[in-house]
Amino acid sequence: MAIAFDITENTQLAKDHFNQVAREQMRPISRKYDDQEHDLPTEWVDWWWKEGRKGAPGKYDGPQDGFVTVCVQAEELCWGDAGLYLRMPTPALGGSAVGAAGTPEQRDKFLKAFREDGQPIWGAMAITEPGAGSDSAAIQTTADWDEDAQEWVLNGTKIFCTAGEGASTVAGGFVVVWATVDKSAGRGGIKSFVVPANTPGMTLVGTEDKLGIRASDTATLTFDNCRVPGENLLGRREVKKQDPAKSAGDKGFKGAMATFDASRPVVAAMAVGVGRAALDFVKEELARQGVPLRYDAGPREQTALERDVIEMEAELQAARLLTWRAARLISLGKPNNLEASMAKAKAGLAVTGITQKAVELLGPVGYSKKLLVEKWMRDAKINDIYEGTQQINQLIIARRILDYPSAMLR
């Protein structure tokens, strides 16, 4: 695959458009909804549903654009505010799961129906449980088949569901729930199910108080004899017993896990956006104070401040290029499991370091709430945690490079 370091004209149009959205619609209310964590950002939700989701000018129908444009959009909007980005009424992770694990008929049924509802909708994915975090195969939520009713019956508790409040309670929304249909089958028994908002038996218990991305909602959901139609199972019903020598079970679990191959580049792009926000601010402040950045000077001639900023730029660009590479593979229809985890791991490390250094370089004012820099530092840390922790993604990278199954490398 040829290596390209530039984006296409169409993607540049999207970048400019969404940067304007971030600057004009998100930044002005960024602090407000960081302080008012559990308030719905009505002005942002209403504007996005009516105007923002129409997208940027241009046409995005080729592999040169495609998923790279999705990641560019995520970077620009998270440059505006990562929490508000996660509060956008879209199918989001739930839609990604349907796209990755569902049949063409299911994608047509669920995604198109929800998009044409006419009102703001949210999609969410419910994986994490009190006793099952990074190890998705340890899921205890069950799905039992009721032959007479031709329905699946879900029981269990899910925590840390991004957009779970809107997805579970607003008409038209939906939650994709991971559950086991056969505990003895291990990973092979894990399936995913589409549960429409307000389905009886699905209950919103509450939302989390968080360090960062406070404008987004992170929910706890319970399922008590929650019934969904048989066709709401994503993928095949058949269960294949897990082979301990292999790293995954049948296509059901693999299909569900494939969701992360699409979502991790987007999360990496989100991290790049937050890191760029902090870096841009530092550079603007240095320029305002008349402090030059001498890119043509040798390391021994540069000041410590210059070396710090240039290193921040290098880390950010490395994360961005890894992200675009993983995204381009999706557009080309090629596997990207290794590249997605590499992008996510690198971006999580980079944005954490960049935002912390930004606060440090700006001194006490950077640590205060007079600026958004301290908020960006708080928003950054989640990128090392959700969509697979830093440690899990590094483990995936090692397994792919060494060609080891999970049983051989834990």
The pLDDT tens digits of the residues spanning 231-278 come to: 999 988 878 665 544 544 445 566 667 788 989 999 999 999 999 999
Q: Is residue 37 annotated as part of the catalytic site, yes or no?
A: no
How is 184-243 classified by DSSP, letter by letter?
Answer: GGGGGGEEEEEEETT-TTEEEEEE---SS-TTS-EEEEEEEEEEEEGGGEES--------
Phi, psi of 262 (to 5 degrees): -90, -35
Rounded CA gap, 347 and 50, in Å? 32
- The rounded distance, in Å, linking the Cα atoms of 190 and 256 is 8
Catalytic residue (choose from 165, 339, 374, 387): 387
The pLDDT score that the predictor gives to residue 368 is 97
Dmax of the chain from CA atoms?
A: 78
Instruction: Look at residues 247, 274, 253, 259 and name the one whose alpha carbon lies nearest to residue 384.
Output: 274
The DSSP code sequence of 366-381 is HHSTTSSHHHHHHHHG
pTM: 0.92
- What length does the chain have? 410
- Which residues of the chain carry a pLDDT beneath 70? 1-4, 55-65, 112-118, 240-256
Angle between helices 66-80 and 251-288 (to 10 degrees): 50
Identify the pLDDT of residue 60. 44
Domains along the chain? 9-90 (1.10.540.10), 98-252 (2.40.110.10), 253-402 (1.20.140.10)
Q: What CA–CA distance (Å, rounded) separates 336 from 61?
A: 20
